[in-house]
Amino acid sequence: MAGDGSDQRALQYEQTLMYGRYTQELGVYAKEEAARLRESGQRRSVSERSRTLDLLEYDKGRCAKCRICTVRCQKFLISRVGEDWIFLILLGLLMALVSWVVDFCIAICLQAQKWMYGGLDSNVFLQYLAWVTYPVVLITFSAGFTQILAPQAVGSGIPEMKTILRGVVLKEYLTFKTFVAKVIGLTCALGSGMPLGKEGPFVHIASLCAALLSKFMSLFGGIYENESRNIEMLAAACAVGVGCCFAAPIGGVLFSIEVTSTFFAVRNYWRGFFAATFSAFIFRVLAVWNRDEETITALFKTRFRLDFPFDLQELPAFAVIGIASGFGGALFVYLNRLIVQFIRKQKAINRFLMKKRLLYPALVTLLVSTLTFPPGFGQFMAGKLTQKESLVTLLDNRTWAKQGIAEEFDYIGHSQAWKHPQVNVFVTLVLFIVMKFWMSALATTIPVPCGAFMPVFVIGAAFGRLVGESMAAWFPDGIHTDGTIYPIVPGGYAVVGAAALSGAVTHTVSTAVIVFELTGQISHILPVMIAVILANAVAQSLQPSLYDSIIRIKKLPYLPELGWGHHEKYNIRVEDIMVRDVRYITLNCCYRDLHNVLLTGHLKTLALVESAESMILLGSIERAQLQSLLSQQLGHTRRLEYIRERAAAEKKRLSVMSNPGSEDESQRVSQEVRFQISTEESSFSPTRPVPQKPLKPALKRSSVVERPTEIHTNPHDNSGIALKNLFCASPDTEGLEDDGDMEDDMTVREIVEWSEKQLDEQVNFNNCKIDPAPFQLVERTSLHKTHTIFSLLGLDHAYVTSIGRLIGVVSLKELRKAIEGSVTVKGVKVRPPLASFRDSGTSSSENEATELHKLWDRHKSMSLPREHTPSESDEKSQ
């Protein structure tokens, strides 16, 4: 914001578009939003009732009874609509339809590409052109469309949902525009045949659906305006998203829990299951109705033998897959972040890409599709198969490489894409894995709606297949020695590999369940579980999950997890990490104290204590509230009033010249009294609700106080700008605007004196919104418990008290530091391995803070003079 201005800002803008960087203040916003909703709800219910009455009046003449009955039925239905299960059924139905339609469109897009490619087989160059142009056009359209309509639709959406479910309101992520952009953008992006997934975006789409459905249904009932209910419904929606994407209800619920929640309310469990099951059911029923399937089956059905799925002695191979996938997953996350950071850092590239905003997606698509061109390099990596086709072939239960046996495996259907006349199937697989690996990591950085789950899943399956084929080649007759020959099933290895790699990238265990539901077979449960757990163990110790990585890249407000068994965490107490130097205000402080406190520190709320001696914590006040208090005390309106008062007094003095003795005292007294009155009546009206008309929105208030209202609401958008406004408003805007009926004839010196006097008055907190029970911890609360409480309640900070006395404060920052290993009991800094990669996102939030400080300092020297030193800069600024 400060510093190397336009360049920086341009970069910033580019980043916003590209990765949806987030900079808004949220808590304040959430509260306002809640208040607004409550208000409009009340208004609506009133109007509804009156409408019903009207209806009754109108129809009294004719079949009144019939009408009444209808109205009652309607009422009953409406009250029923409030039930959760109706909402969940609607959500499931809607999402199943969306998922099915998206799949259908993607299939058509991919068919069209194949048809074009196939039709031009006479000319390789034309073929290449068709093969390459098609995805480039689609991706470019997707990127352009998304950026124009709703840049929030870019990317996976799971990181944003995680942040939202943590209690942070990212409102622009849940709009209808975003919904449209995400659905259409996703369809185009996947229709291009690039290695992208639909799972992450579907979590987002389901949440969008839930949010919009909530809004729609709040037309009928009242409970759709409850915040905690909405959060619960969003959590269920995430499950629906995964569930209807893979037709995996159980895996969907578990995956969404693992990926989006820190604490999970078991009472919310059935919601997820109910909605996801219904959604998956409808999704598969649509396929049956469309004659794609005979009955409801798994999406990628396998036909492994049931009686002897695998040998006990094959388990080491499965374990190897797990461990290797762990490293691979960490590498994928690292690679993905590296690409993003590289593009961000290279200013030359950046500036160029920023100008031609759609160039980056087009270039990446060109590169990827060139490499997969089937007659070209694509022949060595099964380039002509779509993602779905490759997965089906990889999970095939036949063995591709039987070296010991004479009869060559006849590659039927798509499987023959894996066979190359010159090259071994192992080479094809290795090439496929290596190429797809970086391609997927690169493709997921394109600013289109896309996920990374499915590409990673396919790579994992290919890796598993590779190991499986190797095992099959090594033990052609299987390992089992007792009589019967049970050959090795490489398809089983593919299943294990897919679960392990996707588990490693997302840091989840439930990919195992998704795999079972996708393949319709659970016979490999133990190998899959072992591999997934090992992969998770390795990946979690090396890198954050892909979603956490994106959260850090996008700088969303987050709280890191307590990782795998870092047992030193159990011994850290709040007293080790808390900030002891708390900014507070006392109940009997004057405006000058308020002002001084506001100048230092940057927490969003300030503690209110009884007195500096007792330090008894009474509550907390938002910074914005205090700022508006201060601005009102020093504001234009108030000064005009003072001038008016003074003029009146002057007039009075002229008229009552007859008794000049007691003049001075009486004027002072009356002035003081009047200030008290004015404080009570006019200056504070913006923060105090108008008692007679509590439902009136804030903007409809009298025009006299409009300016302070504006100041008051501004801080919610961007604190930096708000602060500027606030302090510009206090003493140096009167030159610009003199709309008052009274002439502002005060000199600069008078204004300074007046301000000084105002600052010495005692603060009146009567009309200030005070949070009466801010969250409190004790010194001995463990880090573990603190983390639990913070993540469950979505706290931003908590006060540490001792017998009512405020002794410290812990904010997310301290907690984050403590968890990421900067603080231990002994005070020694311990960094987890590769931690330097992890907190690449934390540094700039501190930068912001210092920038804010600079801003403060500037204003301090500019606008609000200290006592006895009305400096020259002060004169200038007037």
Shortest approach of a copy of itself to residue 247 CB, angstroms? 9
From the number of C-beta atoms within 10 Å of its C-beta (0-12, 13-18, 19+), residue 293 rates as: middle
Shortest approach of a copy of itself to residue 360 CB, angstroms? 35
Q: How many chain residues bind a copy of itself (CB under 8 A)? A: 97
Q: Which stretch binds a copy of itself (CB under 8 A): 44-52, 174-182, 563-571, 827-835?
A: 563-571
Q: If DSSP codes are grouped into helix, strand and coil, which group holds residue 478? A: coil
Structure-block tokens of residue 798: 């908590």
Shortest approach of a copy of itself to residue 28 CB, angstroms? 17
CA distance 643 to 252: 67
Alpha carbon of residue 758 to chain centroid: 43
Q: Which stretch binds a copy of itself (CB under 8 A): 101-109, 380-388, 703-711, 797-805?
A: 797-805
Interaction of residue 444 with a copy of itself, rule CB under 8 A: no
Which residue in this structure is represented by tokens 């409480």?
Answer: 789
Q: If we measure between CA atoms, which residue out of 412, 395, 519, 513 comes closest to residue 464? A: 395
248: left (phi over 0), alpha (psi -120 to 50) or beta: beta
DSSP state of 659: -
In the set 120, 212, 285, 371, which binds a copy of itself (CB under 8 A)?
285
Residues 486-515: x where in contact with a copy of itself by CB under 8 A, - otherwise, as a string: -----------------------x--xx--
Shortest approach of a copy of itself to residue 314 CB, angstroms? 9
Shortest approach of a copy of itself to residue 816 CB, angstroms? 15
In the set 29, 104, 220, 308, which binds a copy of itself (CB under 8 A)?
308
CA of 166: how far to CAs of 236, 262, 623, 650, in Å?
A: 14, 8, 22, 59
Q: If we measure between CA atoms, which residue out of 729, 765, 563 comes closest to residue 631? A: 729
Residues 724-763: x where in contact with a copy of itself by CB under 8 A, - otherwise, as a string: ----------------------------------------
Q: What is the 3-state secondary structure (H, E, C) of 154-169?
A: CCCCHHHHHHHHCCCC
Shortest approach of a copy of itself to residue 92 CB, angstroms? 11
- Residue placing its CB nearer to a copy of itself in the complex, 145 or 281: 281
Interaction of residue 764 with a copy of itself, rule CB under 8 A: no
- Residue placing its CB nearer to a copy of itself in the complex, 124 or 773: 773
First to last CA, the chain: 25
In the set 21, 171, 229, 817, which binds a copy of itself (CB under 8 A)?
229
DSSP state of 483: S
Of residues 178 through 207, those in contact with a copy of itself by CB under 8 A are: none
Which residue in this structure is represented by tokens 């002509």?
Answer: 384
Interaction of residue 525 with a copy of itself, rule CB under 8 A: yes
DSSP secondary structure letters along 733-786: STTT---SSS-----HHHHHHHHHHHHTSBP--TTS-EESS--EE-TT-BHHHH
Shortest approach of a copy of itself to residue 846 CB, angstroms? 26
Structure-block tokens of residue 596: 């001084």
In the set 31, 724, 784, 860, which binds a copy of itself (CB under 8 A)?
784
Q: Which stretch binds a copy of itself (CB under 8 A): 273-281, 319-327, 334-342, 454-462?
A: 273-281
In the set 29, 269, 334, 409, which binds a copy of itself (CB under 8 A)?
269
Interaction of residue 325 with a copy of itself, rule CB under 8 A: no
Cβ atoms within 10 A of the Cβ of 754, count?
A: 18
Q: If we measure between CA atoms, which residue out of 272, 269, 748, 818 comes closest to residue 578? A: 818
Of residues 814 through 833, those in contact with a copy of itself by CB under 8 A are: none
In the set 2, 41, 44, 82, which binds a copy of itself (CB under 8 A)?
82
Q: Which residues pair with 770 in a beta bridge?
A: 621
- Residue placing its CB nearer to a copy of itself in the complex, 89 or 212: 89
Interaction of residue 575 with a copy of itself, rule CB under 8 A: no
φ, ψ of residue 790 in degrees (nearest 5):
-60, -45
Q: Which residues pair with 607 in a beta bridge?
A: 584, 620
Residues 610-639: x where in contact with a copy of itself by CB under 8 A, - otherwise, as a string: x-----xxxx--------------------
Radius of gyration of the chain (CA): 33
Interaction of residue 520 with a copy of itself, rule CB under 8 A: yes
CA distance 485 to 478: 6
- Residue placing its CB nearer to a copy of itself in the complex, 197 or 249: 249
Q: Which stretch binds a copy of itself (CB under 8 A): 49-57, 436-444, 566-574, 647-655?
A: 566-574
